[in-house]
Structure 1
Amino acid sequence: APAQTLSDRDHQMLRSAALRIIRALGIEGGCNIQFALDPRSSTYYVIEVNPRVSRSSALASKATGYPIARVAAKVAVGRRLAEIRNEVTGRTFAAFEPALDYVVVKIPRWPFDKFPGADRRLGTQMKSTGEVMAIERTFEGALAKALRSLEQRWPDELELDDPALIDQPNDRRLFALLRALWLGATPAGLAARTGIDVWFLDRMEAMTRLAPSPTELPGRNGHEPTYKLVDTCAAEFEAETPYYYSSTAEEVSETRPDPGRAALVVGSGPIRIGQGIEFDYCSVHAAWALRSAGVRAVMANSNPETVSTDFDTSDRLYFEPLDLSAAAAVARAERVAGAVVQFGGQTAINLAERLAGAGVPILGSSVDAIDLAEDRRRLAQALDSIGVPQPAGGATTSIDEALAIAQAIGYPVLVRPSYVLGGRAMEIVHEPEELRRYMRWAREALPRGTVLVDHYVMGTEVEVDAVCDGDTVLIPGIMRHVERAGVHSGDSFAVYPAYGLTPEGEAEIVDFTTRIARHLELRGLVNVQYVIQEGHAQVLEVNPRASRTVPMLSKVTGVPMVRLATLVMLGERLRDLGWESGLLPPRPLVAVKAPVFSMHRLLAVDPYLGPEMKSTGEVMGVDRTLGAALRKAFQSSGIGLRPGGQALLSVADPDKPEMLPIAARLVERGYRLHATPGTAAALRRAGLACELVAKAGRPRPNVLDLIAAGVDLVINTRNGPGVSLRPGLPLIRDGFELRRAAVERGIPCLTSLDTAAALLAAWEGGPDLEVRTITEWREG
């Protein structure tokens, strides 16, 4: 934005058409209209009309500085546009249409780095999980900045060699076009192949003339950026809101640091699997806490979908890529006392060491403390030194050493890298050849080559979030995962307060968490994940930052965790704020977090849950009892269980004994059971009637025909590694087609018997659900 290839005549034609449509439909408030325009004529079609604010409304608001949702809300209660003041300029009114003297580029963020085996072609089905936005004075500058904001590795030349990447829309097409232009392809030739307007390709060719290689962006040549104000009216009126973007095309900077102490809050960037809106919650509450403490909050982020990039969340907002050069430049321009990196997920944490090296102090936990927790090898040594148990294992960069560690501790082993989020590249490995292939891949693909090889412990997972000031360690609550270890915490159902813990087990977890926080000298937030086996806890990982469960725990306990952590970073002590060490008494409620998936949009991705995170969101259910809270959570995530339905069961041999009581409970609810041969035999031996159905790939009719005809529930578990995202490892095992067929038809497909048991517990608790405010639940 603004549209670069429309003539003024076309622009006015579409604008007039939009106004006629809105008036004819009688729409008051926000409205989104999408047109298809023939570039060779003035023929256009209306694709759709959305009589509401839409995903693009948030983008348009951030791009123009015009608060669409705020204005729409005021219109809904009877205000006229000419009566609503524009808070950005402070002078104009909402009837004044925005005018831009800069260019805005949005690029979607796709999850194919997590799912390289997925169908990467783009079409009418949305596949992105988030987006970035960049502002500059030129299209070239904005595009380069948006590409930096994606926080993704640029594909190498071998990846971009396929001509289909240019001919078909896909997530790597833009990179392939830039490479082709750098290698000498003409804009006109590429325009003919792709249908992309030659104007864009001309601009991209200009970018490549300054690029040092076909897989690198042009640099800044060492120039310090200047900062310009987003003012909605092309400088016709003076703007008052400090909402800035950097430019290398201007010499005069419009930002001036205000007197007084300031802190830079590093945001979390585009929404992606493993790093979602939970971290924006934390960034926003950190900004509010800074402002309430009299410290200027300077926010840096690149995501137009978030509250942190609203013009009034912080004292200063910078729409910038979250890389070292941009973050350090903002810190210098604002002369901040330090940077807050604990609330922006792994994006911000990964910047800590380099920001400190650039002269920007890190508030809260020191860079060394962060590295101690994030570096798996150093953490293992630290835990040993304070007597906190962990699964047997070791850290290595060597294939031979990894094989030796696995041989010593026994298979299966859990392999995972340091400094990643969302369980990226985490695998359960069952044999030496799998481990050998994984290590070959890790040596080339991981940013820090260290891989942790741990004995895989099957037990109950428990998660703790704490606020610490180096001495006092406040634990608002403990959460238990419904699924046993092996399913990523972000994909697990989680319950507060943790059920099934003995008083001794709970005390052990509190003791270990306190020891860890004090030994690492953490100041701010810390997240510790444990596995409980035979009543004793072992540490799985320590995260020296906000976790994705902080918003939920803050809401259900009433403890302002982010505010307390921010004040600790500013030098306050928890005791002075009225808080003591230890675990707070549980609130008189049960809260359940349920994951939400988008598997139906990502073809060829196995929906089986494992140690690498796959969910794209979450919901929460709150009630008096576990069963009722589970039911609310399942319903909110789109999973139901009606009496008298049909269930398809196909489970691995080790799971068959545990499956039998679940199957019996389904029969009690009037379910008709279908099962594959091995599962059917186990059911019949237990006296449970079922209909035999052949596996996928066997003569018809088989499970795929049954799913196509319609079932209400699929329960499928597997034995062994199954699908792997690492090149060279096994790609498809029996059951993949079954799971994909269920997901693509919207049928709940549960790949853990723990989840299946929880679903039955939820629907056996009775039909009546109580509705109360979260405050009423907390107060009992």
Structure 2
Amino acid sequence: MPKDQSISSVLIIGSGPIIIGQACEFDYSGSQASRSLREEGIEVTLINSNPATIMTDPVTADHIYLLPLTPESIEKILQEREIDAVLPTMGGQTALNLAIEVGKLGIWEKYDIRLIGVDLNAIEITENREEFRKLMGEIDMPVATSIIANSFLEGKDAAQKIGFPLVIRPSYTLGGTGGGFVMEEKDFDDALRHGLNSSPTHEVLVEEAVLGWKEFELELLRDRNNNVVIICTVENMDPMGIHTGDSITVAPAMTLSDTTFQRMRNMAIKMMRSLGNFSGGCNVQFAIDPDTENIIAVEINPRVSRSSALASKATGYPIAKIAAKLAIGYTLDELKNQITGNTSAFFEPTLDYVIVKMPRWNFNKFYGSSHELGLQMKSVGEVMAIGRSFIEALQKACQAQENNRMGLGGDKKEWIRTDDILERLEKPSDDRVYRIKDALRLGVPISTVHRLTGIDKWFLREIEKLVKLEQRLTHYNVAEDIDEDFMLELKQHGYSDAQISWLMRLDEDEVTRHRKNIGVRRTYKTVDTCAAEFEAETPYFYSTFEQENESKRSDKKKIIVLGSGPNRIGQGIEFDYCCVHGILAIKNAGYEAIMVNCNPETVSTDFDIADKLYFEPVFWEHLEEIIELEQPEGVIVQLGGQTALKLAEKLHEKGIPTIGTDFLSLDLAEDRGRFSDMLKDLDIPYPDYGVANTVDEAIEIANRVGYPVLVRPSYVLGGQRMRIVINDQELERHVLSIFKHLPDNRVLIDHFLRRAHEAEIDAICDGEDVHIMGVMEHIEPAGIHSGDSSAVLPPYSLSQKNIDTMVAYTKKLAVALKTVGLINIQFAIQDEKVYVIEANPRASRTTPFIAKAYGIPYIQLATEVMMGIKKVKDFNVENKLDGYAIKIPVFSFDKFPNVDKSLGPEMKSTGEKIYFIDDLSDPYFRELDKRRSMYLSM
């Protein structure tokens, strides 16, 4: 059936700011859907309030509306644009809820707008727990025993009928918000109240708990002819009881019998076909009794989901892209698989590798929060790893985590007290997989680990293989003793050279040198959706240790862009935006653009963004062998945040050029002592400071510069472990904590400027001239992390003298640092005196905000400067704004109800939104300004 010719203009609803439970996977889906529709000649209008996304960039859609996600904004767009249809399935729960609200207000009907990809009835059925339960009954689909409750008394009555343990699931919430297990009656009342209050409809499902059952997810696509394909089957390594967003997941399923898989497959197709008028993507979750293999349906989501992005990257099958085409009338058999280029989209992917998704948490940002995991999602991001075996992929996932791990153990972070380990196993937490390895290493039987965790013994036996390999490795004293066969076995089990060197108490370079000398090197395999049955057209690779290398080096000059790794607080989607624009600039300049990243949620890891994609950990050993294979002109580290920046030193040591600002300048900006010396030489004011290597030195410096002082470790991200302290006792406690958690670090101590205004500038420098991208004034005062502060562009209360001074300091400092590319400088203004707080010669979280506010492709311009093909004086842009743009941080404190919500030097926000005002009389701005006055008077 051909495309619906009556649809020539589509509105896509985005997902808003990043929060826990709804992250950049919807930027990926929305961007892919937009590109897919534009391929068909359809005019795409997009609404979203998140300035950090590719979705809200002119390269993605024809018309971008950076507006709040409200019915009023939707009606404004419908009044200004000739819209035929709306696609609400690409923006997560936020977009679906908005579509429902707009529908109830009659706005879709008023403007004769069709919903495509889903209908409101399907949304209502799947989000309303009672309607879902009824539908499952009608199609004879087994579900857990459950009762709907709209009041406290109804909930109490339901619990009495079902019995404990049970689950509370609020309706219409995201990421499991408000839900949880209740093991005993004494805990039920509080949990019920929380669930009812979390639901926008004051409704919960009280459900029988199936703790310990296995959990599986299927990603499906359905067209208007009722054709269905299963794109991917994902097995949760953790059993039921942990939100899928917090669970380690594996594809394809490892412990599922073929008979049970076929039953589950048939059930998923039946569920999807029961949803009425629905064409597009769908995620279905099941629980399976490990003893009887009985299956029950848990939920169905008639939209792209967090798992859709994972499944797309895992299989190479572009789910959102195909779903968008199905929404406008195509059928699966009419579409091509864009990876192979010559097979049908009505062809189910086959994997000849294993995918492991591992969540990334930020509990260190939420002081007082429990590390225990449950139905309510707590992770802030995730990584995906590809290997030829589960254990290889699992080790690569650990290396990609950006938490100083070198793999699954074997990296000096092991626990040694059996009682502590067993307690950790029984209560699922963010580090449970590491504790499983510790338990097996200490001789705890697999049966005991299985009983405590509920994790299938197959996974435990796989992890046990690492313990046995390490026991064999202890018999070797020097690297040269390891023969080729054993080295190959270690590497095929995912061991990094750093792990091997730690286990042998050797220098890592010794292991690497010996490994390469005996010919054990990475080879690269193609992600092709069809287990190499058909040749793939898209260059999308992962590494392993085999004979044939499928990644062939071209003759073109090439540049590698390092991605930003998993999302976490302090480093989010804004750096993916920067990487994508960097890639576009590289391609436009005629170079081959190569992307290295491991985040499945991002646009940068889409198969058709870069000329070549390596889905690999942004980890030195992996990067080095890609560089050895590709022989690039250089590597760009400025766009990937701290993940990429921390590899600059290794690149410098190995003589590999960085494109743009060199390592020595990057290091100078990070080294507070040397940086302050530079400021002194340039006659630029800065707070008095000192650098301490011991507690005694810290106390001496603090007393010299005067309390209060700002205390922080060097070389960290997002203000990690940064505090304001007011006396020697507080200082001693905090400095000891820094040395405990970051033992190789030094402590920076600055005099803290009280009641100072804070501002920042983003700029581009070519080594000689400087272009000021934007000057932003913070609402919150100095002392609150810039990522947690609302920022106004351009400044609204700073004197012109202060602005001119900031601009002058920026130009002087950027040139002195020999910056080639982007730089962000932060200032404090106290008593009309401007101080420089810090300088970051790289992309910052404010870079996309400025680019979106002014509508200027600043990252592409900066990348051209880095490559030496453009000078600042060649820029033909004017950063002018009618009115003001405000960057507003968004927090996810609702996931951690008992934590300290106060703001300070350490960043806590998970995302941001943009808000435009015409003038300073805007009521929203006036409220912000009142808050600022309150802060400055404290």
TM over 0.5: yes
Contact 1:497 1:586 in 2 (8 A): no
Question: What letter is aligned with 1:157?
Answer: W
**Which residue of 2 is the match for residue 110 of structure 1?**
361
Change (3 A) 1:229 1:80: same
Residue-by-residue CA offset, 1:75-131 (whole Å, 9 max, x unaligned):
000001011111111111211010000000001001123346320000000000000
The reply to whether residue 553 of structure 1 matches residue 850 of structure 2 is: yes
Distance 1:500 1:186 in 2: 66
Distance 1:327 1:500 in 2: 46
**Which residue of 2 is the match for residue 199 of structure 1?**
458
Residue-by-residue CA offset, 1:471-492 (whole Å, 9 max, x unaligned):
1110021001101111110000
**Which residue of 1 is the match for residue 392 of structure 2?**
141
Contact 2:770 2:872 in 1 (8 A): no
Q: Report the alpha carbon displacement of residue 207 of structure 1 after superposing the two structures with TM.
A: 2.0
Aligned pairs for 1:491-640 (under 5 A) are 491-575=788-872, 577-578=874-875, 586-628=880-922, 630=924
- For residue 532 of structure 2, the aligned residue among 207, 227, 235 is 235
- For residue 150 of structure 1, the aligned residue among 397, 401, 407 is 401
Contact 1:564 1:574 in 2 (8 A): no
Percent identity for Structure 1 against Structure 2: 47
The reply to whether residue 18 of structure 1 matches residue 253 of structure 2 is: no
Change (3 A) 1:85 1:35: same
Distance 1:536 1:579 in 2: 33
**Which residue of 2 is the match for residue 85 of structure 1?**
336
Change (3 A) 1:460 1:116: closer
Contact 2:761 2:775 in 1 (8 A): yes
Change (3 A) 1:116 1:326: farther
Residue-by-residue CA offset, 1:708-749 (whole Å, 9 max, x unaligned):
xxxxxxxxxxxxxxxxxxxxxxxxxxxxxxxxxxxxxxxxxx
**Which residue of 2 is the match for residue 218 of structure 1?**
495
Distance 2:700 2:379 in 1: 40
Distance 1:120 1:603 in 2: 13
**Which residue of 1 is the match for residue 201 of structure 2?**
none
Residue-by-residue CA offset, 1:528-573 (whole Å, 9 max, x unaligned):
0000111121011111110000001011123322111111111134
Question: What letter is aligned with 2:776?
Answer: M
Change (3 A) 1:475 1:420: same
Give the secondary structure class of the aligned counterpart of 2:792.
strand
Q: Report the alpha carbon displacement of residue 756 of structure 1 after superposing the two structures with TM.
A: 12
Residue-by-residue CA offset, 1:332-390 (whole Å, 9 max, x unaligned):
12111111000111111111011222342111111100000011111111111111110
Contact 2:339 2:528 in 1 (8 A): yes
Further displaced range: 402-411 or 484-493: 402-411
- For residue 253 of structure 1, the aligned residue among 538, 549, 556 is 549
Distance 2:808 2:655 in 1: 36
Distance 1:105 1:620 in 2: 34
**Which residue of 2 is the match for residue 450 of structure 1?**
746
Residue-by-residue CA offset, 1:422-461 (whole Å, 9 max, x unaligned):
1001000100111122222223322652211111102110
Q: Report the alpha carbon displacement of residue 609 of structure 1 after superposing the two structures with TM.
A: 0.6
Gaps of 5+ in 2: 1-250, 406-412, 475-492, 498-510
- For residue 262 of structure 1, the aligned residue among 558, 561, 577 is 558
Change (3 A) 1:146 1:429: same
Give the secondary structure class of the aligned counterpart of 2:750.
strand
Give the secondary structure class of the aligned counterpart of 1:163.
helix
**Which residue of 2 is the match for residue 726 of structure 1?**
none
**Which residue of 1 is the match for residue 589 of structure 2?**
293
Contact 2:526 2:550 in 1 (8 A): yes
**Which residue of 2 is the match for residue 674 of structure 1?**
none
Aligned pairs for 1:729-768 (under 5 A) are 754=934
Distance 2:926 2:590 in 1: 41
Distance 2:384 2:811 in 1: 41
Aligned pairs for 1:680-691 (under 5 A) are none
Change (3 A) 1:628 1:553: same
Change (3 A) 1:487 1:576: closer
Residue-by-residue CA offset, 1:129-172 (whole Å, 9 max, x unaligned):
00000000000100000011111134442688342211121111
Give the secondary structure class of the aligned counterpart of 2:363.
coil
Distance 2:359 2:923 in 1: 35
Contact 1:226 1:247 in 2 (8 A): yes
Q: Report the alpha carbon displacement of residue 633 of structure 1 after superposing the two structures with TM.
A: 11
**Which residue of 1 is the match for residue 780 of structure 2?**
483
TM-score scaled by length of structure 2: 0.66
Contact 2:769 2:873 in 1 (8 A): no
Question: What letter is aligned with 1:198?
Answer: K
Distance 1:262 1:47 in 2: 47
Distance 1:311 1:359 in 2: 30
Change (3 A) 1:247 1:559: same
The reply to whether residue 370 of structure 1 matches residue 666 of structure 2 is: yes
Aligned length: 638
Residue-by-residue CA offset, 1:645-682 (whole Å, 9 max, x unaligned):
xxxxxxxxxxxxxxxx96xxxxxxxxxxxxxxxxxxxx
**Which residue of 2 is the match for residue 328 of structure 1?**
624
Q: Report the alpha carbon displacement of residue 300 of structure 1 after superposing the two structures with TM.
A: 0.5
Residue-by-residue CA offset, 1:53-90 (whole Å, 9 max, x unaligned):
11110000000101000000000000010111111111
Q: Report the alpha carbon displacement of residue 208 of structure 1 after superposing the two structures with TM.
A: 2.4
- For residue 704 of structure 2, the aligned residue among 404, 408, 413 is 408
Change (3 A) 1:423 1:234: same
Further displaced range: 498-507 or 541-550: 498-507
Give the secondary structure class of the aligned counterpart of 1:113.
helix
The reply to whether residue 393 of structure 1 matches residue 652 of structure 2 is: no
Question: What letter is aligned with 1:277?
Answer: I
Q: Report the alpha carbon displacement of residue 631 of structure 1 after superposing the two structures with TM.
A: 5.9
Q: Report the alpha carbon displacement of residue 602 of structure 1 after superposing the two structures with TM.
A: 2.0
Distance 1:288 1:159 in 2: 51
Distance 2:663 2:923 in 1: 40
Q: Report the alpha carbon displacement of residue 574 of structure 1 after superposing the two structures with TM.
A: 2.0
**Which residue of 1 is the match for residue 325 of structure 2?**
74
Contact 2:570 2:907 in 1 (8 A): yes
Give the secondary structure class of the aligned counterpart of 2:730.
helix
Contact 2:781 2:936 in 1 (8 A): no
Further displaced range: 147-156 or 407-416: 147-156
Change (3 A) 1:548 1:521: same
Change (3 A) 1:39 1:296: same
Give the secondary structure class of the aligned counterpart of 2:839.
strand
The reply to whether residue 360 of structure 1 matches residue 656 of structure 2 is: yes
Question: What letter is aligned with 2:803?
Answer: E
**Which residue of 1 is the match for residue 87 of structure 2?**
none
Distance 1:370 1:153 in 2: 21
Distance 2:353 2:313 in 1: 13
The reply to whether residue 41 of structure 1 matches residue 299 of structure 2 is: no
Further displaced range: 311-320 or 148-157: 148-157
Give the secondary structure class of the aligned counterpart of 1:30.
strand
Q: Report the alpha carbon displacement of residue 408 of structure 1 after superposing the two structures with TM.
A: 1.6
**Which residue of 2 is the match for residue 675 of structure 1?**
none
Distance 1:44 1:601 in 2: 30
**Which residue of 2 is the match for residue 55 of structure 1?**
306
- For residue 173 of structure 1, the aligned residue among 432, 438, 445 is 432
Change (3 A) 1:296 1:447: farther
Distance 2:311 2:794 in 1: 41
Contact 1:591 1:629 in 2 (8 A): no
Contact 1:622 1:632 in 2 (8 A): no
Question: What letter is aligned with 2:672?
Answer: R
Contact 1:36 1:47 in 2 (8 A): yes
Distance 2:922 2:629 in 1: 52
The reply to whether residue 343 of structure 1 matches residue 601 of structure 2 is: no
Contact 1:464 1:529 in 2 (8 A): yes
